[in-house]
Amino acid sequence: MELEIIEPKVIAKNNPGIRDKILLFEKALGKFPGAKFGDDAFPLKHTFVDGAYVREIFMPKGYLTTSKIHKFEHPYFIMKGEVSVLTEEGVVRIKAPFAGITKPGTKRVIYIHEDCVWITCHTNPDNGEDLLKIEDRIIAKTFDELPNNIIETLGEVLKLEEKNDTSA
């Protein structure tokens, strides 16, 4: 498991508009021929087990893409490849095998250095297999759609970090 922090600063503190910049980047990227986004962009494999939905995506080397906005905390696994990932927390370069946790409100910009297999695991309390319903439950279409408790929690974390920075 290899994780290289490229920029260790928390971008959200120094750049509170990072979410807007990621959205603007995604819009600009979408204007390029061959730009790929969403479920039709890369091959997906869906697995359903009691109480969980497992989503596996294959992303080929050389692509630059963005992820969706995640509503809930969940584990992810990079099983193959190497990627650079930009979130509100900064940029990290990750080489498989790697396991991490996606925080609520996360949207990523991802550059694929080597062919990548990325797996996410989500709760599926009703054991449904309707992908549109599952996505509606776990993915936000906009940051404004995030549950209030997520926005409040992120705000409290940032306030706590600022308080700790000034007391040091």
pLDDT per position as a tens digit, 44-63: 999 999 999 999 999 999 88
Q: What pLDDT sits at residue 33?
A: 73
Per-residue pLDDT for 2 more than 70? no
pLDDT at 13: 41
Which domains does the chain show, CATH number per domain? Answer: 2-167 (2.60.120.10)
CA angle 68, 57, 140 (to 5 degrees): 15
What is the separation, in whole angstroms, between the first and last Cα of the chain? 32
Q: Distance between CA atoms of 25 and 35, rounded to whole angstroms?
A: 12
User: Which has the higher per-residue pLDDT, 20 or 136?
Assistant: 136
pLDDT score at 151: 43
Residue with the bigger pLDDT between 40 and 17: it is: 17
Give the whole-angstrom CA distance, residue 29 versus residue 71.
23
